[in-house]
């Protein structure tokens, strides 16, 4: 089929990997008491309407009511103040001045390990990278032992964390469950004992420029800080890990895309990464609740959603809404012309008050690592294992084995790629 994208988009055969055979059409649908928002405009309206729409952090759990909720479940003034206070940890200037050199160094360490071994599981490398980078922003830098990535995995996957007896239905539910635990969580969690508590103790005497120091200055207790750390682990570490895997997969499969990425300046490389993230949103579902009546216009009709209604925002479908994204929305096309106000990654970082504060950091660290990785003579061994974690509504890539043969003549050789270029 000929399309208007033909002359501009060279990667037309590269398509969404994470369709999982149940893609929907953009639109708005009521199913019982729940509204499903699958149009880009509707989802954006709801995400930006912080007057009438909330995260819905309220819970009947007594302990949760007594705890300060983590940032992701805050609303209103409390949330605004928190976001204003932490914004300084995520600015492009902070990322460049405080984190870039570390990301570069860590990348080199991971690359040398890969080169020495000749092969590696990319999902392990990307987890280590994303955990260590986010840990510095949070202030988790005083661990008593190595292996924080494994302890985080264990803390987040523990069934013991779910006291509700119901299946979790969103990517942040693990955090909510963590927050509903009794203080025994503190005793049983090796993540707390080995990573979080030492960080808190160090910052009580010597505050630093990081999230934990900020929370201490606001009087947060240990349990509240642990829950906030688990929020960052879910929101910042797990997400970035999966995204790096997905971006590498697309580029290792499409040599033309990989070459364009390696040859591009930073703007071009970020454009490619944003387009991959649009097509393959790691957080595929967001949840909201109306606190006032809300009206959404869609397809010539007005949909009246009463106060107190739960809404499920289907980000994979909103990101492929042809009316906004343009023709062939399920095709990877970094050159697509998006209307003004629509970002390259569409709603993959959310929007409005809760929009991801780590968006720039995530793309920057992914870029530093991927640029170095993909300039190696590297190829995939078999097809990575791709699953949809239905509990989290997020994809997971595992067993992503790559091999690196310096003498094979394969891959891409660029001069001067020993460290990530500043451009
Ligand atoms: C590719 C990687 C990432 C993706 C796809 C991603 C995606 C998202 C999305 C969709 C939200 C909005 C949730 C909502 O509206 O309910 C969010 C929020 C958040 N993200 Fe990210 N994120 C990524 C990386 C990061 C990083 C690196 C950090 C920090 C180190 C981070 C920290 C957070 C925090 C703290 C929130 C909660 C903000 C709030 O509720 O005000 N994220 N992220």
pLDDT tens digits, 75-102: 999 999 999 999 999 999 999 999 999 9
- Tell me the pLDDT tens digit for each residue of 280-297: 999 999 999 999 999 999
Whether pLDDT at 7 is above 50: no
Whether pLDDT at 176 is above 90: no
Residue 416 confidence (pLDDT): 36
Confidence of residue 8 (pLDDT cuts 50, 70, 90): low
Mean pLDDT within 252-277:
97
Q: Which of 134, 138, 239, 282 to mutate to test the pocket of ligand 1 (most atoms within 8 A of CB)?
A: 239
175 lines ligand 1 (CB under 6 A): no
Q: Per mean pLDDT, which range of 148-152, 220-224, 348-352, 375-379 is the poorest?
A: 148-152
Residue 54 φ then ψ, to 5°? -120, 165
- Tell me the pLDDT tens digit for each residue of 225-248: 999 999 998 889 999 999 999 999
- Tell me the pLDDT tens digit for each residue of 186-201: 555 889 999 999 999 9
350 lines ligand 1 (CB under 6 A): yes
Confidence of residue 173 (pLDDT cuts 50, 70, 90): low
Residue 33 φ then ψ, to 5°? -90, 0
Residue 388 confidence (pLDDT): 87
36 lines ligand 1 (CB under 6 A): no
312 lines ligand 1 (CB under 6 A): no
CA distance 138 to 210: 5
- Please tell me the residue having the least CA distance from ligand 1 atom 20: 356
Higher local confidence (pLDDT), 67 or 111: 111
- Please tell me the residue having the least CA distance from ligand 1 atom 42: 236
Confidence of residue 169 (pLDDT cuts 50, 70, 90): very low
348 lines ligand 1 (CB under 6 A): yes
- Please tell me the residue having the least CA distance from ligand 1 atom 12: 350
CA dihedral 325, 15, 173, 164 (to 10 degrees): 120
Higher local confidence (pLDDT), 298 or 21: 298
Q: Which residues are CB-neighbours of 165 under 8 A, at least 6 positions away?
A: none
Whether pLDDT at 119 is above 60: yes
- Please tell me the residue having the least CA distance from ligand 1 atom 9: 349
- Please tell me the residue having the least CA distance from ligand 1 atom 21: 356
Instruction: Report which of 374, 417, 402 is spatially closest to residue 261, judged by C-alpha positions.
Output: 374
* Residue 195 CA from chain centroid, whole number: 22
Q: How far is the CA of 143 from the centre of ligand 1 (A)?
A: 24
Confidence of residue 417 (pLDDT cuts 50, 70, 90): very low
Q: How far is the CA of 232 from the centre of ligand 1 (A)?
A: 8
Residue 22 confidence (pLDDT): 72
Q: Which of 236, 286, 361 to mutate to test the pocket of ligand 1 (most atoms within 8 A of CB)?
A: 236
- Please tell me the residue having the least CA distance from ligand 1 atom 1: 240
Mean pLDDT of the chain: 86
Residue 418 confidence (pLDDT): 40
Residue 352 confidence (pLDDT): 97
Instruction: Count CB atoms within 10 A of the CB of residue 414.
Output: 13
Q: Which residues are CB-neighbours of 186 under 8 A, at least 6 positions away?
A: 192, 222, 223, 226
Nearest-atom number in ligand 1 for the CA of 345 is: 5
134 lines ligand 1 (CB under 6 A): yes
232 lines ligand 1 (CB under 6 A): yes
Residue 19 confidence (pLDDT): 85
Whether pLDDT at 411 is above 80: no
Whether pLDDT at 332 is above 60: yes
**Whose structure tokens read 């003549």?**
409
Q: How far is the CA of 359 from the centre of ligand 1 (A)?
A: 7
**Whose structure tokens read 């570490």?**
237
Instruction: Count CB atoms within 10 A of the CB of residue 32.
Output: 6
- Tell me the β-bridge partners of 378: 404
Whether pLDDT at 389 is above 90: no
Residue 24 confidence (pLDDT): 85
Task: Tell me, letter by letter, the H, E, C secondary structure of the chain.
Answer: CCCCCCCCCCCCCCECCCCCCCCCCCCEEEECCEEEECCHHHHHHHHHCCCCEECCCCCCCHHHHHCCCCHHHCCHHHHHHHHHHHHHHCCHHHHHHHHHHHHHHHHHHHHHHHHHHCEEEHHHHHHHHHHHHHHHHHCCCCCCCCCHHHHHHHHHHCHHHCCCCCCCCCCCHHHHHHHCCCCHHHHHCHHHHHHHHHHHHHHHHCCCCCHHHHHHHCCCCHHHHHHHHHHHHHHHHHHHHHHHHHHHHHHHHCHHHHHHHHHCCHHHHHHHHHHHHHHCCCCCEEEEEECCCEEEEECCEEEEECCCCEEEEEHHHHCCCHHHHCCCCCECCCCCCCCCCCCCCCCCCCCHHHCCCCHHHHHHHHHHHHHHHHCCCEEECCCCEEEEECCCCEEEEECCEEEECCCCCCCCCCCCCCCCCCC
**Whose structure tokens read 């929101």?**
235
Q: How far is the CA of 233 from the centre of ligand 1 (A)?
A: 10
- Tell me the pLDDT tens digit for each residue of 307-326: 999 999 999 999 999 999 99
Whether pLDDT at 355 is above 70: yes
Residue 67 confidence (pLDDT): 81
- Tell me the pLDDT tens digit for each residue of 32-69: 999 999 999 999 999 999 999 998 644 444 455 678 88
Q: How far is the CA of 252 from the centre of ligand 1 (A)?
A: 26
CA distance 175 to 68: 13
């Amino acid at each position: 089929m000929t399309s208007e994208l033909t002359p501009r988009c060279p990667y037309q055969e590269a398509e969404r990997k994470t369709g999982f055979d149940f893609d929907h059409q953009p639109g708005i649908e009521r199913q019982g008491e729940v509204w499903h928002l699958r149009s880009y405009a509707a989802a954006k309206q709801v995400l930006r309407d912080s007057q009438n729409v909330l995260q819905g952090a309220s819970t009947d759990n007594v302990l949760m009511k007594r705890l300060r909720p983590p940032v992701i479940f805050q609303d209103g003034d409390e949330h605004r103040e928190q976001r204003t206070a932490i914004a300084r940890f995520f600015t492009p200037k902070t990322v460049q001045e405080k984190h870039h050199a570390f990301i570069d160094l860590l990348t080199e360490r991971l690359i040398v390990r890969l080169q020495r071994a000749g092969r590696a599981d990319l999902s392990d490398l990307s987890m280590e990278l994303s955990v260590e980078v986010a840990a510095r922003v949070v202030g988790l830098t005083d661990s008593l032992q190595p292996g924080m990535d494994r302890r985080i995995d264990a803390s987040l996957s523990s069934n013991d964390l779910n006291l509700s007896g119901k299946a979790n239905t969103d990517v942040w539910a693990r955090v909510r469950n963590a927050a509903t635990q009794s203080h025994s969580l503190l005793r049983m969690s090796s993540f707390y004992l080995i990573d979080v508590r030492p960080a808190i103790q160090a910052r009580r005497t010597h505050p630093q420029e990081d999230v934990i120091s900020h929370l201490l200055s606001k009087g947060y207790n240990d349990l509240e800080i642990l829950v906030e750390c688990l929020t960052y682990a879910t929101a910042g570490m797990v997400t970035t890990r999966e995204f790096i895997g997905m971006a590498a997969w697309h580029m290792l499969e499409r040599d033309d895309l990989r070459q364009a990425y390696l040859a591009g300046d930073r703007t071009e490389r970020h454009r490619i990464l944003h387009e991959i993230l649009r097509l393959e949103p790691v957080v595929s579902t967001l949840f909201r609740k109306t606190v006032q009546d809300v009206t959404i216009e869609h397809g010539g009709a007005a949909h009246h959603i009463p106060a107190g209604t739960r809404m499920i925002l289907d980000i994979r479908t909103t990101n492929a809404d042809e009316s906004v994204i343009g023709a062939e929305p399920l095709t990877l096309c970094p050159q697509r012309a998006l209307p003004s106000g629509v970002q390259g990654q569409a709603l993959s970082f959310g929007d409005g008050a809760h929009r991801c504060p780590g968006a720039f950091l995530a793309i920057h660290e992914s870029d530093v690592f991927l640029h170095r990785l993909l300039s190696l003579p590297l190829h995939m061994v078999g097809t990575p294992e791709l699953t949809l974690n239905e509990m989290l509504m997020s994809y997971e890539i595992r067993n992503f084995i790559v091999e690196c043969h310096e003498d094979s003549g394969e891959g891409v050789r660029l001069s001067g790629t020993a460290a990530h270029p500043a451009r």
